[in-house]
Amino acid sequence: MATNKNATINDVAAAAGVSRATVSRALAGYGRISKQTVDHVRSVAEGLGYRPNALAVAMRAGKTKTIGLVVISDFTNAFFDRATKSIIDRAKELGFRVLIQHSDEDVAVERVAVETMLSNQVDGIILVPASTTKHSHLTPKKLGGKPVVIIDRMLDIQRFTTVTTGDEVAAKEAVLYAGESGHTNLGFLIAVPGIRGFTSTQPEIPITSVQERVDGFELGVKTAKAKSVWVYSEDKQAIAESAVEKLLDSPKAPTIIFTSNNDMLLAVLKVVGERGLTIGKDISVVSFDDSPWAAAMVPGITVISRPVEELGSIAVTELVEAIEGNTKPKEIVLPASLVIRGSVAKLTKSK
């Protein structure tokens, strides 16, 4: 029998001498149909090179075995890169595919991304929200009853299961560690979505994870009775580098700089390198989120590490449970931890 890459279900039915409905049942394995007929139809289909449309078959069964992931677009960010891989790997283990859209930290783009996922008939969505308060597109009606799991951040309503990390506690711990190491002049470089340029005045922070880091840093400063200088920056490299220069040129320059993510850390490393300063000696650094390069540097960068792979895996597991009917929302908070390396100098006296 000659194969045909464009063979249709009608071709299979004609070649097998059965109805189109019988072909559908035989290939999908449902309905009352003899084993002899199933074997015959499948043999004919294989001989013709026919491949059923997996999405169409799944939709007829009521599920597409597909998860939609809406994440920020910066896949150079170590956290979201690792989280995405973890989500894809866990979904594959559970028999699901993953469709990916990005929000670019923009609620309007996020809204379109969610609509795109729904139009592709995903069974559920994992979302990194661009805003804590702007989520009118995430109502049960607009979602068509599809379950959603929120990761990394939270909304100001408890409508969905959320999987986040304990950033506030870990941020405070990091500041107290710096105090124990003799640092009393602290600098903070915080990336804030939605702002332009950089500012020393705390702007409105649209996402909970950043706010929790700021709150934790502030608690640490208060507890340690340290002095601090803050800069809130647009998440663009050139602007972040200018913000670092402002910190280093402060009248009472910090001996240590805390950064809210890897992008801000890179800006610190670049400016410090250009000025001929040595990390862990002339200036100390602590950053949120670990990465292979942060560990491989000499000295290694002390980081607040978050369990990224576990977060992604749990998010998929929770979403699949919701797809299967377990819809009670949960708040899951995974602990973040301070990983001490060589980027924080031990000072014998305050500078």
Is 346 part of any domain?
Answer: no
Residue 23 sits in a domain whose CATH number is 1.10.260.40
Kindly state whether residues 92 and 48 are assigned to the same domain.
no
Kindly state whether residues 36 and 154 are assigned to the same domain.
no
Span 222-241, mean pLDDT? 96
pLDDT per residue as tens digits for the range 105-139: 899 999 999 999 998 889 999 999 999 999 999 99
Percent pLDDT > 90 in the chain is: 72
pLDDT score at 338 = 97
Is 349 part of any domain?
Answer: no
Kindly state whether residues 142 and 171 are assigned to the same domain.
no
CA 95 to chain centre: 21
Nearest to 64 by CA among 111, 118, 23: 118
pLDDT score at 261 = 94
Kindly state whether residues 40 and 77 are assigned to the same domain.
no
pLDDT score at 6 = 75
DSSP string, 8-50: -HHHHHHHHTS-HHHHHHHHHT-SS--HHHHHHHHHHHHHHT-
pLDDT per residue as tens digits for the range 303-329: 999 999 999 999 999 999 999 887 789
pLDDT surpasses 90 at 61: no
Task: Kindly state the tokens that stand for 292.
Answer: 């292979």
Task: Decide which of 29 and 14 is more confident.
Answer: 14
Kindly state whether residues 193 and 286 are assigned to the same domain.
yes
pLDDT per residue as tens digits for the range 9-24: 888 899 999 998 888 8
Assign 114 to helix, strand or coil.
helix
Kindly state whether residues 43 and 121 are assigned to the same domain.
no
pLDDT surpasses 70 at 351: no
Kindly state whether residues 313 and 258 are assigned to the same domain.
no
Q: What mean pLDDT value characterizes the chain?
A: 90
Kindly state whether residues 92 and 123 are assigned to the same domain.
yes
Is 1 part of any domain?
Answer: no
User: How far is the C-alpha of 295 from the C-alpha of 320, rounded, in Å?
Assistant: 34
pLDDT score at 153 = 94
Q: pTM for this one?
A: 0.82
pLDDT score at 73 = 61
pLDDT surpasses 50 at 2: no
Query: Domains in the chain: how many in total?
Result: 3
Is 3 part of any domain?
Answer: no
pLDDT surpasses 90 at 146: yes
What count of other Cβ atoms lies within 10 Å of the Cβ of residue 33? Answer: 16
Is 27 part of any domain?
Answer: yes
Assign 88 to helix, strand or coil.
helix
Is 291 part of any domain?
Answer: yes
Is 186 part of any domain?
Answer: yes
- Domain residues for 24? 9-52
Span 41-45, mean pLDDT? 89
Kindly state whether residues 268 and 298 are assigned to the same domain.
yes
User: How far is the C-alpha of 29 from the C-alpha of 41, rounded, in Å?
Assistant: 11
Task: Decide which of 266 and 77 is more confident.
Answer: 266
Kindly state whether residues 182 and 281 are assigned to the same domain.
yes
Is 211 part of any domain?
Answer: yes
pLDDT surpasses 50 at 223: yes
- Read off the pLDDT band of 1 (50, 70, 90): very low
User: How far is the C-alpha of 178 from the C-alpha of 223, rounded, in Å?
Assistant: 12
pLDDT per residue as tens digits for the range 278-290: 999 999 999 999 9
User: How far is the C-alpha of 271 from the C-alpha of 38, rounded, in Å?
Assistant: 69
pLDDT score at 272 = 97
Residue 321 sits in a domain whose CATH number is 3.40.50.2300
Kindly state whether residues 225 and 208 are assigned to the same domain.
yes
Kindly state whether residues 281 and 264 are assigned to the same domain.
yes
- Residue tagged 């990761």 (tokens): 151
